[in-house]
Structure 1
Amino acid sequence: MDLFDDLPEPTQTSVAPPAQDEEDRRFKRRRDDEEEEEEEEDEIKKVCREGLPRLRGYAAARRGEREEMQDAHVLMPDMSSCLSSLPGHVSRVSYFAVFDGHGGARASRFAAENLHLNLAKKFPSGDAENLDKLLKKCLLDTFRQTDEDFLKKASSQKPAWKDGSTATCILVVDDTVYSANLGDSRAVLCRTEAAADGQRKSVTLALSKEHNPTIYEERMRIQRAGGTVRFILLACDGLFKVFSADEAVKFVLSVLQETSVEQKDELTEEELRFEAACQQLASEAVRRGCADNVTVILVSVCH
């Protein structure tokens, strides 16, 4: 039954001008097209997000023989909440950083509290073209801005602050890794490759300059070698005073490959292994005689 059967017939029929009818049809077509584009974009983002490796951050910090802890660090597996919008079809932005303070802890803490906020303010938005170039400029501008802001604050104090800090961070935009650093803290990447004898071996790569595994030639080289990222390690120079980069990676691998881990209900076995590797690496640096502060971040990359 038609719900309007018992309504009286209209006494007067108003007909919209033909020009208005055509305008309404054009508006409806534009609206339908826009809705289709939005649905398509949402679907693309959904596909991208589902195909991305999962990142988890683990951190460990030790004061060593110093009177105070001057290191600072930041773990942000999902930085999206800090950004007003994501550019183009970007699905995920992650940020991890280590800051090694000297002359006090104020510079490292300032950097830990403000560097990612400045990065968020300068982050490309909308349908940004040349996103790779814009992100590199964004990182440079972010480091410069944070440095200027701290110097301004430090010089306004009485007496003026003399603190300083290194800064080493990685920015992961979907599956592209950007590395930026000042000072002697380091970022290294561990990945596994197939050796000539068919066995798999770990390879350590320094991330002191941009390392982008999504570049076609580099991606093909890694795939031909049967390679995959296992994790990324960030640490201040306290670690690298008693560990070489390769030694640190091998130490982490040895912990990850141990068969026994203490079970905790809220963590998976893999999470427990990375947490143990992070904590044990920092403790081993102190045991080896490092008198400096030690901060370690492990970022697991799960495909």
Structure 2
Amino acid sequence: MVAEAKIMCPQNVEVFAKGMNVREVEDVVASISPKSFDPSRPLEFVSPAAALISNSQPDVKPADKVSDLAPEPADLRFFPRLRSGSFADIGPRRYMEDEHILIDDLSSHLGSLFSFPTPSAFYGVFDGHGGPEAAAYVRKNVMRLLFDDVNFPRASEVNKIFSEELENTLRKAFHQVDLALADDCSVSSSSGTTALTAMIFGRLLMVANTGDCRAVLCRKGEAIDMSQDHRPIYPSERKRVEELGGYVDDGYLNGVLSVSRALGDWDMKFPRGSASPLIAEPEFCRMDLTEEDEFLIIGCDGIWDVMSSQHAVSLVRRGLRRHDDPEQCAKDLVMEALRLNTFDNLTVIVVCFSSLDQREPLSPPRERRFRCCSLSAEALCSLRSLLDTSG
């Protein structure tokens, strides 16, 4: 009767090695050893060349085309836990014309006079042009203009009425800011700014956009655009511009401005009350957040000129898996845009909806299973002899 010994193999199979020599045993074990697997390895993002943005952006799913935006019943229990970080850099420009604002707890910031659903937050990016005056004015006065000078809705819960009132209030506030820029003598008539704001009340995310800043939502690693860039070359904007007496020359509105919507720029707008090719009217996108929504990126066009929405989402997602720091992720995005040779100022806000320990890992750890492998006495002796020799 042949004696046998057992060797533990990390594989879900049994190997019987009676009568086999050591090299044969090694070959069998090597053939059944699992490939190395690191469950913490981040998702790869697209290469810089493939990440250059195009008008069609095939790798991004627009919010109005997502089929599963309506929350499931289980999502009714979900409320985001907000934390944010930002980073700004002058880039290759001589002057910094960007401004931004981030408030993770709007109720505490405004005081007891306002009653909002929990959580409540306000974020904004203002990309100036023709000088820094317009963007700086908006940053300094946006809270007063938004919450004091208009009838901002107050409610303890989010419903359809609150959402509609919020949209109407934001629309009115954008126009109020535009008129205020015309009246303030410290702001040049040739100075203007784009503006993108994002508000969160409970599970409601409301984005208002005028210009070419962009907000991008990450849902399970997939980029979802929450705003549409307002550029004169886009068919809908070009049609509106030309119907109102403007023209597009080499991608620029009236040969001057690279956006078709902005606050300020009163040297390019018709007198008050007249329809103008350049308008301050914002577009809106609203969504109920779910447990699948991980974070929101808000950035000026200096970011999106050189990378796609999906590129940015993948970069931030990988960073959060490493260090869970939204401010560092914002900085990483700016550094990536500089590496890709952006030619503009750079400003980014990253808003996380939960902490890292609340989310599932990218891939669950692989369970290691052990089975017995049998060796004959002769093979065992050969193996021992080999090990002794090596020792």
What residue ranges of structure 1 are gaps of 5+ in the alignment? 1-49, 193-201, 220-226, 262-269
Partner Cα separation in structure 2 for residue 126 and residue 298 of structure 1: 27
Give yes or no for contact 2:125–2:196 (8 Å, CA) kept in 1: yes
Alpha-carbon distance, 1:203 to partner = 1.3
1:113 maps to amino acid = K
Partner Cα separation in structure 2 for residue 52 and residue 61 of structure 1: 29
Q: Is residue 213 of structure 2 the alignment partner of residue 185 of structure 1? A: yes
2:285 maps to amino acid = E
Q: Residues 85 and 237 (structure 1 numbering): CA distance in 2 closer, same or farther, change over 3 Å?
A: same
Question: What is the match of residue 222 of structure 2?
Answer: 203
- Whose relative contact order is higher, 1 or 2, with alpha carbons under 8 Å and at least 6 apart? 2
Q: Residues 253 and 92 (structure 1 numbering): CA distance in 2 closer, same or farther, change over 3 Å?
A: closer
Q: Is residue 305 of structure 2 the alignment partner of residue 241 of structure 1? A: yes
Partner Cα separation in structure 1 for residue 330 and residue 318 of structure 2: 12
Alpha-carbon distance, 1:84 to partner = 5.6
Question: What is the match of residue 339 of structure 2?
Answer: 287
Q: Residues 150 and 101 (structure 1 numbering): CA distance in 2 closer, same or farther, change over 3 Å?
A: same
What residue ranges of structure 2 are gaps of 5+ in the alignment? 1-76, 228-283, 359-391
Partner Cα separation in structure 2 for residue 294 and residue 252 of structure 1: 16
Question: What is the match of residue 138 of structure 2?
Answer: 111
Q: Residues 127 and 211 (structure 1 numbering): CA distance in 2 closer, same or farther, change over 3 Å?
A: closer
Q: Residues 94 and 54 (structure 1 numbering): CA distance in 2 closer, same or farther, change over 3 Å?
A: same
Alpha-carbon distance, 1:160 to partner = 3.9
Which of 52, 70, 91 is residue 97 of structure 2 equivalent to?
70
Which of 143, 147, 155 is residue 178 of structure 2 equivalent to?
147
Structure that is richer in helix per residue: 1
Partner Cα separation in structure 1 for residue 117 and residue 312 of structure 2: 32
TM-score (norm 1): 0.66
Alpha-carbon distance, 1:51 to partner = 6.1
Q: Which has the larger radius of gyration?
A: 2
Identity fraction in percent: 30
Partner Cα separation in structure 2 for residue 141 and residue 282 of structure 1: 32
Alpha-carbon distance, 1:275 to partner = 2.4
2:87 maps to amino acid = A
Question: What is the match of residue 133 of structure 1?
Answer: 164
Give yes or no for contact 1:62–1:286 (8 Å, CA) kept in 2: no
Which of 170, 186, 190 is residue 198 of structure 2 equivalent to?
170
Give yes or no for contact 1:177–1:211 (8 Å, CA) kept in 2: yes
Alpha-carbon distance, 1:185 to partner = 0.6
Question: What is the match of residue 230 of structure 2?
Answer: none
Partner Cα separation in structure 2 for residue 149 and residue 207 of structure 1: 27
* RMSD of aligned Cα (Å): 2.3
Which aligned segments of 4 or more residues in structure 1 are displaced greater than 4 angstroms? 126-129
Partner Cα separation in structure 1 for residue 315 and residue 207 of structure 2: 23
Give yes or no for contact 1:241–1:290 (8 Å, CA) kept in 2: yes
Alignment of 1:28-43 (within 5 A): none
Partner Cα separation in structure 1 for residue 346 and residue 118 of structure 2: 33
Give yes or no for contact 1:82–1:117 (8 Å, CA) kept in 2: no
Q: Residues 84 and 144 (structure 1 numbering): CA distance in 2 closer, same or farther, change over 3 Å?
A: farther
1:179 maps to amino acid = V
Partner Cα separation in structure 2 for residue 83 and residue 147 of structure 1: 27
Partner Cα separation in structure 2 for residue 108 and residue 57 of structure 1: 21
Deviates further, 232-241 or 284-293: 284-293
Alpha-carbon distance, 1:131 to partner = 1.1
Question: What is the match of residue 72 of structure 2?
Answer: none
Question: What is the match of residue 245 of structure 2?
Answer: none
Give yes or no for contact 2:155–2:162 (8 Å, CA) kept in 1: no
1:252 maps to amino acid = V
Report the secondary structure of 2:306's partner residue: coil
Report the secondary structure of 1:166's partner residue: strand
Deviates further, 108-117 or 284-293: 108-117
Q: Residues 160 and 71 (structure 1 numbering): CA distance in 2 closer, same or farther, change over 3 Å?
A: closer
Alpha-carbon distance, 1:283 to partner = 1.2
TM-score (norm 2): 0.52
Give yes or no for contact 1:62–1:283 (8 Å, CA) kept in 2: no
Partner Cα separation in structure 2 for residue 235 and residue 169 of structure 1: 11
1:137 maps to amino acid = N
